[in-house]
Amino acid sequence: MLPVTLADEGVRQRRVSRILFAVLWVIPSVLAALQLTLIGDASGTHYRLSTTLVWQGASWMLWGLWSQLVLTIVDRVKLDTARIAPWIAIHVAVSAVICVINVLLIAWLDHVFGAVGRVTSYAFAVRVVLVNHLDFQVVLYWAVVGAAYMVKFVRRFQERDRAATVLQQELASTQLEALRMQLNPHFLFNALNSVAELMENDVREAQRTLTRVADLLRLSLRSAGSSLIPVWQEIELVELYLQIARVRYGQGLDADITVDPSAVDDLLPSFLLQPLVENALKHGLAPGHPDQSIEVHVHRDGAVLKIIVEDNGRGLDGLLTTSGRFMAVTPSVDGLGIGLTNTRMRLSMLYGDRYAFRMSNLQSGGCRVEIRIPATDR
């Protein structure tokens, strides 16, 4: 099924407006028929309800036709203060024509059905309708014009509001994609530096690492069209990245990734975990040191998805506060690098004030990053 565009929605609304303006006159038709039946019975002139429905229905439903003409004029004649005189002239001329035709037709209906009592001629019926109905017909015309312009202005406001919403969504999507793409070269430069170091000592390992880099880039491109991806897909990216990172940090780097089975298909921002893991390696751990570890935990707690990355490195260098309280929107973080600054900006754009971001030192040593976002299924 093709998506509904703003133009399609506008056409649908105009069609609905025309239908409403056509059938709305059924209500006064029925009321007038009932009134005439009751008044006629009270005055001794008896009319059947079926007769009055045809009679008054024909009189009122004339406006069902005229309203279509009015809507067409409203669509084509703009209400512009700079050209108000031609606008008034057009509507005065149209109202005069419509009111004259209505008077003649209503008089003919009254003459046929005998509504004016002892009517002896059609000319007399015309004079009676002129006296009793002409002013009302003029008021009806301008009421229809006013209602038509009101509907048009409301529809135009809704279209502009929807267009603004679409533009905001497209802008946010573009900004998110720009932020996400900023991470790719940032990561790629670091990975290529690792490959360059290997080229002098272990060409085969450098080739294998370069293959892993290609695989990681391929996975990242697979999610390029989506700002949110499933947890399992993000874990694939992190595992490939850790394989590349071991080239620099050695096989002594221990990485433990734990994912709650209930959270495997939950959605989270693409490339959310990789900058956190990279930050732990860059600022917490040291290449070549034994017994270094990184733990990644993703689990669901009710309506909240928790992402935790911990390392056993040297911890924070005083650039970050260690508040024990979660701080939504305003994080307990200062002096963030590209990866973490990018991550927080993306979280803010995607979730507004519905996320939490905290970094702190562990008592046993090392750093802990915890992010909480709304849990959403794929």
Q: Where are the domains of the chain?
A: 6-167, 202-374
Residue 298 binned pLDDT confidence (cut-offs 50, 70, 90): very high
Residue 173 binned pLDDT confidence (cut-offs 50, 70, 90): low
pTM of the complete model beyond 0.75: no
| Residue 314 pLDDT greater than 80, yes or no | no
Q: What are the tokens at 367?
A: 């750093």
Residue 241 binned pLDDT confidence (cut-offs 50, 70, 90): confident
Residue 247: DSSP 8-state:
H
* Stretch among 45-59, 86-100, 196-210 having the lowest mean pLDDT: 196-210
d(CA 205, CA 202): 5
| Residue 186 pLDDT greater than 70, yes or no | no
In 3D space, the residue among 287, 281, 284, 272 whose CA is nearest the CA of residue 340 turns out to be 272
268: helix, strand or coil: strand
Q: Please state, for a pLDDT cut of 70, what percent of the chain lies above it.
A: 72
Q: How far is C-alpha 281 from the geometric centre of its chain's CA atoms?
A: 39
The pLDDT score that the predictor gives to residue 259 is 92
CB neighbour list of residue 185: distance below 8 Å, 6 or more residues apart: none
The pLDDT score that the predictor gives to residue 288 is 59
Residue at token pair 């909480």 = 372
The pLDDT score that the predictor gives to residue 154 is 82
Considering Cα of 362, then 324, then 360, then 376, what sign does the dihedral take?
positive
Report yes or no: 258 and 294 within 8 Å, Cβ to Cβ. Answer: no
**In the CATH hierarchy, which fold is given to the domain comprising 202-374?**
Heat Shock Protein 90 (3.30.565)
pLDDT in tens, 317-349: 654 443 333 333 344 344 456 667 777 877 887
Helix H segments across the chain?
6-23, 26-43, 49-76, 84-113, 122-199, 203-222, 231-249, 273-283, 338-351
Most confident listed range (2-16, 187-201, 303-317): 303-317
d(CA 206, CA 226): 31
Q: Summarize the confidence of residues 16-20 as an average pLDDT.
A: 85
For residue 93, which amino acid is it?
Answer: A
The pLDDT score that the predictor gives to residue 333 is 44
Q: Give the residue, 236 or 336, on which the prediction is more confident.
A: 236
The pLDDT score that the predictor gives to residue 334 is 45
How much is the mean pLDDT over the chain?
A: 76
pLDDT in tens, 65-111: 899 898 888 888 877 766 788 888 888 999 999 999 988 988 888 88
Q: Summarize the confidence of residues 24-38 as an average pLDDT.
A: 86
